[in-house]
């Protein structure tokens, strides 16, 4: 899920034509886990407010449903076959134009803060950004080592969502005269699911059931069946319970429920 907010710093004609841009990216957030899109259990008041005050696209599609290719498409406006990032290990080519880079050329102060995830082992600052704070690969919900604009490395205490938000607030507090564009890349709610401790038991009383589609695999096309044992298939290696999904054993049901509650 993505959100883009355009905020004019004043009523001045020049600044009104050059609004500040705040771009927020949530990682692997399902539409049925968003309040304004019909979630029965998950409360997302801030996302709901953005949707209510702006435009909520309910008929949009991901052209390449994989992390890094999607990130590259969001920044460049190109399909995966055009930008060249076709897996989760390829870096975004430095020569490609991005919308933050275009704004930088027009006098904007630009920053990317958070999960980048285009190139597993490289957390160096990228072209198009005056300020770049990120980490290698996926990062962790706790104890992530951050590369702060190539100037220093640090491992702040606290939950990822709070840490990355604090980095953003610090940067925003330094902005004065120039219009700015800030990209905020959250890690949550990407697997593996480790909720912030204060929310760990928020859904203990909610009944979680297997989706109906889990029991209709025999009617699916061959290409879906062939993908089941792969990394992103439901029998893949990410979670032990998926080795025999759906599994009605009590311990398997408990594992599934625990995973869904942690995701929420």
Report the catalytic residues.
67, 117
- Give the pair of three-digit tokens for residue 98: 């991005």
- In angstroms, the CA 173 to CA 244 distance is 50
Distance CA 138, CA 136 (A): 7
Q: Which of 122, 82, 83, 126 is nearest to 104 (CA)?
A: 126
Query: What's CA 119's distance to the chain center, in Å?
Result: 16
- Closest to 27 in 3D by CA, of 96, 114, 106, 119: 114
Structure tokens at 74: 């969001």
What's phi and psi for 130, nearest 5 deg?
Answer: -75, -25
């Amino acid at each position: 899920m993505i959100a883009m907010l355009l905020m004019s710093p004043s009523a001045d004609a020049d600044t009104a034509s050059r609004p500040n841009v705040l771009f927020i990216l949530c990682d692997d957030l399902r539409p049925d886990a968003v309040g304004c899109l019909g979630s029965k259990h998950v409360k997302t008041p801030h996302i709901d407010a953005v949707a209510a005050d702006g435009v909520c696209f309910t008929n949009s599609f991901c052209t390449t449903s994989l992390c890094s290719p999607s990130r590259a498409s969001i920044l460049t406006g190109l399909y995966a076959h055009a930008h060249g990032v076709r897996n989760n290990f390829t870096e975004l080519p430095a020569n490609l134009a991005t919308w933050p880079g275009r704004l930088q050329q027009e006098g904007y102060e630009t920053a990317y803060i958070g999960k980048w995830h285009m190139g597993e082992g490289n957390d160096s600052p990228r072209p198009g950004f005056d300020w770049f704070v990120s980490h290698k690969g996926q990062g962790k919900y706790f104890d992530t080592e951050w590369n702060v604009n190539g100037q220093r490395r640090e491992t702040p205490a606290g939950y990822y969502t709070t840490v990355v938000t604090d980095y953003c607030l610090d940067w925003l507090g330094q902005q004065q005269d120039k219009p700015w564009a800030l990209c905020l890349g959250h890690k949550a709610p990407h697997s593996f699911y480790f909720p912030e401790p204060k929310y760990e038991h928020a859904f203990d009383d909610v009944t979680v059931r297997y989706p109906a589609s889990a029991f209709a695999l025999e009617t699916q096309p061959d290409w879906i069946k062939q993908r089941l044992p792969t990394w992103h298939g439901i029998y893949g290696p990410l979670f032990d319970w998926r080795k025999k999904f759906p599994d009605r054993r009590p311990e398997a049901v408990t594992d599934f429920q625990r995973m869904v509650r942690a995701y929420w």
